[in-house]
Structure 1
Amino acid sequence: MKDIIVGMGEALWDVLPEGKKIGGAPANFAYHISQFGLSSCVVSAVGDDLLGNEIIANFTSKGLNSLIEKVPYPTGTVQVEIDQAGVPQYEIKENVAWDNIPYTEQLEDIAKKTKAVCFGSLAQRNVVSRETINRFLDVMPKDNDPLIVFDINLRQGFYNKEILCNSMKRCNILKINDEELVLISRMFGYPGIDLQDKCWILLGKYNLKMLILTCGINGSYVFTPGNVSFLPTPQVEVADTVGAGDSFTAAFIASIIKGKSIMEAHSCAVQTSAFVCTKKGAMPILPPQIIE
């Protein structure tokens, strides 16, 4: 494999009211990237237990390439409660396998072939996985203009200003939602301006290629230096919104890698995430009209 697109961080089970489903933002991202016909790989860790074996088997059954190390910690789980609007609430278990992703020679080999990577803040809550992510970014080739996507994923207070600042300095594409943007703005000291101005500030301060802002039912934006794309959110019958943001990121990055314009990539991302919202769980099979 070469020109790999990597989703790096948590791989876990979302324990939903109707049962458990495979989850974790990096796994969702890598899975949807693979549906667009690109070489993807999810990097994470599981425990040497039944739940970990089931995750590996699940990825294999989906044809998803993975580098999943087994470590002496339990496989991660998240208790998910869905409110009346279909919005998930999460209880994320701590000190689990994906907190302890090791840096290995095999992982370094993947890093040297990586064209795009997506990582978040949640997988950096523990120093082991945080250092592994940063070492991976250090080794990625700099001569093929890689896409380094930081998909902020603020959950249960598992973040701090230092981690967020470092990650935004290291990425060239920032993905954030409106609620996260409000929290970041308070933390960084500019709460009194509108959402778009906050995005322009972040785009310039961190010298980003792109900033993607999703606002749920209120649409989404893609900011690039000097330009902004806005698209409304399609009205669909929502089953749940688990993994919708990850599918948006995957569709957008896949489109950009395939040479599509910002507007075309944005449109594909909106259609993909809207479809995912109509299905239970984070990894439904996308219909041919979206893939095409």
Structure 2
Amino acid sequence: MNDIVVGMGEALWDVLPEGKKIGGAPANFAYHVSQFGLESCAISAVGNDALGTELLENFNRKGVNYLIENVPYPTGTVQVEIDQAGIPQYEIKENVAWDNIPYTARLEALAERTRAVCFGSLAQRNVVSRNTINRFLDAMPQDDGRLIVFDVNLRQGFYNKEILCNSMMRCNILKINDEELVIVSRMFGYPGIDLQDKCWILLGKYNLKMLILTCGINGSYVFTPGNVSFQPTPKVEVADTVGAGDSFTAAFIANILKGKSVIEAHKKAVDTSAYVCTQQGAMPVLPAYITE
């Protein structure tokens, strides 16, 4: 069918005290989707600078397919400082390349071939990228088989009720974690009920195919109309958790597209995320027992 699975949004460097690491959900998502044998593509923008060149070289080495434009803004960075209590503090630089993803003819042609797309709230903090994401969604085929995944990622106040509401109306799969669900439900006016009831409300209100709720060590849920799948979080020796959430989403969507049941895809997502946590970095090679 030559249908493509797209991750769309921020591409950046996390600048840590020990050095910089590549970051951004779209590339993580696209990379892991491709490991399950599907064609994927990361969409973002970088600056015409050394950091942008290095980022694309990194993607090339990893075998990440991408449609990333050069724009006259600096490549995105996140400054990570460790405070006296050992808690990381993040400063996501503003008005950078991924805030200004242009809508192009190449992007429109890609949208017309897209079977599933994953986008977040952080990439919509600037009107340019927000409009590009919405135009991309408009250009996708409007049949019921397309998967439009909104992965909520509330960072530093770079979100508002209007963006969240519009994104939930545009998507048919919502992914959210327990902390984000508390914030969202407070914003939308139903703070006093338990997490599962909040999920059922969102599923019905926005007519979603699925709602994925991750709760860290307390497991994860996939809600579909009339059913819920729960998977415990495996106990593993954690190297780092970078990219674990993106790998979860990628594995779940890839397996749904390959015809697996919700329960089977959920189990694959949990196994994938747990494995990524045992490895350094967001893009390890997955073992065959996971991707088969």
Smaller-chain TM-score bracket: over 0.9
Match of 1:273 in 2: 273
> Normalising by structure 2, what TM-score?
0.96
Match of 2:78 in 1: 78
Q: Is the 8 A contact 1:174 1:208 kept in 2?
A: yes
C-alpha separation in 1, matches of 2:251 and 2:258: 11
Match of 2:60 in 1: 60
| Greater displacement, 205-214 / 279-288 | 279-288
Match of 2:225 in 1: 225
C-alpha separation in 2, matches of 1:147 and 1:109: 18
Q: How many positions carry a matched residue from both structures?
A: 292
Match of 1:157 in 2: 157
Secondary structure at the counterpart of residue 282 of structure 1:
coil
Deviations 1:195-222 (A, max 9, x none): 0000000000000000000000000000
Match of 2:26 in 1: 26
C-alpha separation in 1, matches of 2:260 and 2:87: 31
C-alpha separation in 2, matches of 1:224 and 1:87: 36
For residue 280 of structure 1, report the CA deviation from its aligned partner: 2.1
Secondary structure at the counterpart of residue 254 of structure 1:
helix
User: Which one-letter code corresponds to 1:158 in the other structure?
Assistant: F
User: Which one-letter code corresponds to 2:62 in the other structure?
Assistant: K
Moved over 4 A (4+): 86-89
C-alpha separation in 2, matches of 1:109 and 1:289: 35
Q: Is the 8 A contact 1:88 1:242 kept in 2?
A: no
CA RMSD, 1 decimal: 1.8
Deviations 1:96-138 (A, max 9, x none): 0000000000000000000000000000000000000000000
Secondary structure at the counterpart of residue 37 of structure 2:
coil
User: Which one-letter code corresponds to 1:134 in the other structure?
Assistant: N
For residue 87 of structure 1, report the CA deviation from its aligned partner: 8.7
C-alpha separation in 2, matches of 1:164 and 1:77: 24
Secondary structure at the counterpart of residue 193 of structure 2:
coil
C-alpha separation in 1, matches of 2:209 and 2:81: 36
Q: 1:80 to 1:260 in 2, by over 3 A?
A: farther
- After superposition, residues 106-117 of structure 1 pair within 5 angstroms as 106-117=106-117
Gaps of 5+ in 1: none
Match of 2:291 in 1: 291
C-alpha separation in 1, matches of 2:19 and 2:290: 28
C-alpha separation in 1, matches of 2:213 and 2:100: 30
For residue 90 of structure 1, report the CA deviation from its aligned partner: 3.0
Match of 2:43 in 1: 43
C-alpha separation in 2, matches of 1:164 and 1:188: 10
Match of 1:10 in 2: 10
Deviations 1:34-56 (A, max 9, x none): 11111000000000000101111
User: Which one-letter code corresponds to 1:226 in the other structure?
Assistant: G
Gaps of 5+ in 2: none
User: Which one-letter code corresponds to 1:218 in the other structure?
Assistant: N
Identity over aligned residues, as a percent?
Answer: 82
Secondary structure at the counterpart of residue 242 of structure 2:
coil
C-alpha separation in 1, matches of 2:284 and 2:87: 17
Match of 1:243 in 2: 243
User: Which one-letter code corresponds to 2:197 in the other structure?
Assistant: D
Q: Is the 8 A contact 2:33 2:251 kept in 1?
A: yes
Deviations 1:128-169 (A, max 9, x none): 000000000000011362000000010000000000000000
Q: Is the 8 A contact 1:88 1:241 kept in 2?
A: no
Q: Is the 8 A contact 1:10 1:99 kept in 2?
A: yes
Match of 1:259 in 2: 259
Secondary structure at the counterpart of residue 165 of structure 2:
helix
Q: 1:87 to 1:290 in 2, by over 3 A?
A: farther
Q: 1:6 to 1:236 in 2, by over 3 A?
A: same
Q: Is the 8 A contact 1:59 1:65 kept in 2?
A: yes
C-alpha separation in 2, matches of 1:92 and 1:151: 18
Secondary structure at the counterpart of residue 246 of structure 2:
helix
| Greater displacement, 236-245 / 190-199 | 236-245
